[in-house]
Amino acid sequence: MNKFVVGLAGLMLGSSANAQTYAIQAGRLIVDAAKPALGPSTVIVENGRIKAIENGATAPAGATVVDMRGDTVMPGLIDVHVHLTQDAGVPWYQWMTTKFSEPYSATVGLKNALVMARAGFTTVRDLGSSGVAGLATRDALRDGSFPGPRVLVSGPALSMIGGHGDLAVGRNPELAEAINERGQLGVCTGAQECAQTVRKLAALGVDVIKFHATGGVLDPGALGLEQHFSDDEMKAIVDTAHSLHLKAAAHAHGARGILAATRAGVDSIEHGTFIDAAGVAEMKRRGTYFSATLMAFSGLNQYIGKGIFSANSEMKARQALTLWGNGLNRAYRGGVRIVLGTDSGVAPHSQANQELALMVTKGGMTPRDALIAATRNGADLLGLSGETGTLDPGKSADLIAVQGDPLVDPAAVQHVDYVMVEGRPIPLKGY
């Protein structure tokens, strides 16, 4: 691991770290994954933003020098699909324990946010958390109270009654009745009620709306992986989200559900396991983004047969695993815009940076295109291209240093030596 010099103030949280000037010296510099890398260079960071890119190893007077001359410095990774408030490998039934209250889930979110940052992710989008747990995690990080990436959140994902996301599914009648009596914010039926639910989530302060266009693997239900919400319900969800200036993301495995969500105008398809030619063509025509979440399949592979999943989930998992990477390969070859999503929380958050290698080995992408998906494309989808995704002067100082060259070897991002989020260095150990 490279040695670097960081003043104690550089590890402090909050605005004091942003006020420092840093000179981050790189052996190789990727300003934009879509362009050729530069040789030895220095990134000057001032007040949390990139001030300049200079040739060679330089340092303004008084700057904190970060010596990464043996590494590649590049834009921080962007994961558009995570679940910060849940841990991988937890048996499906344990959500009913007091350990999984919203306050406790928020603390899990803070822990996993730091894990994600240490894995090289400077921006993540949390697509599904209980109640306000995800929002609390986001706000604590945004305020500088804890170290971690920039976070966008959806809050509870929308589900049809009995669908993926309905917590009453698979429970005994008394428990299901109690859950339904208490009410579930994300469960809706009919276009009008679904539009109303989107407005309620927007009022909570979410950054994006997520809905389950199809069934899912991890719920204990037996309704399969095809279309759940009706076409009209999906259109109401997406149109209402867009009217409130929010993006909409669709969890979608089955081909019919993917096509229906795309036609409804969704901004991104998450998973896309069984996408067909019609879905690819429609996504390309509309400019819809595709997030394959290949690490979710890795999580299924790690935990299947170990009592983590219900019997129905095991069945659906085996069905999905037969096509691990096929959906991404189809979408990529069809010219669909690709972003990186991991579904971390299904697989361990610490393994999230393995997604790039899977995008190459299973999805058929080039290392460069995988890196573009993991940086500038993610920023474009999230509406953050003016802030992050590249290291152009004026943008937020979201950067990492890795061993090797990720433009040639996607596994290089699994060896992270330095992380900075919005001008704040992230401690890679301790805390």
CA distances from 243 to 150, 209, 212, 237, 357 (A): 24, 12, 20, 10, 37
pLDDT confidence of residue 223: 83
Q: In angstroms, rounded to a whole number, what is the distance separating the alpha carbons of residues 184 and 102?
A: 14
pLDDT confidence of residue 92: 60
The more confidently predicted of residues 1 and 167 is 167
What are the structural domain ranges in the chain?
Answer: 8-75+391-425, 77-381
Q: Do domains 8-75+391-425 and 77-381 have the same CATH topology?
A: no
Tell me which amino acid residue 391 is. L
According to CATH, the superfamily of the domain at 8-75+391-425 is Urease, subunit C, domain 1 (2.30.40.10)
SS3 assignment, position 374: helix
pLDDT category at 12 given cuts 50, 70, 90 is very low
Query: Which tens digits make up the pLDDT trace of 59-74?
Result: 999 999 999 999 999 9
Query: Which tens digits make up the pLDDT trace of 349-399?
Result: 999 999 999 999 999 999 999 999 999 999 999 999 999 999 999 999 999
Query: Which tens digits make up the pLDDT trace of 134-172?
Result: 999 999 999 999 999 999 999 999 999 878 776 656 665
At 59, give phi and psi (nearest 5°): -165, 120
pLDDT confidence of residue 16: 47
pLDDT category at 175 given cuts 50, 70, 90 is low
Architecture of domain 77-381: Alpha-Beta Barrel (3.20)
For residue 269, the Cα-to-chain-centroid distance in whole angstroms is 13
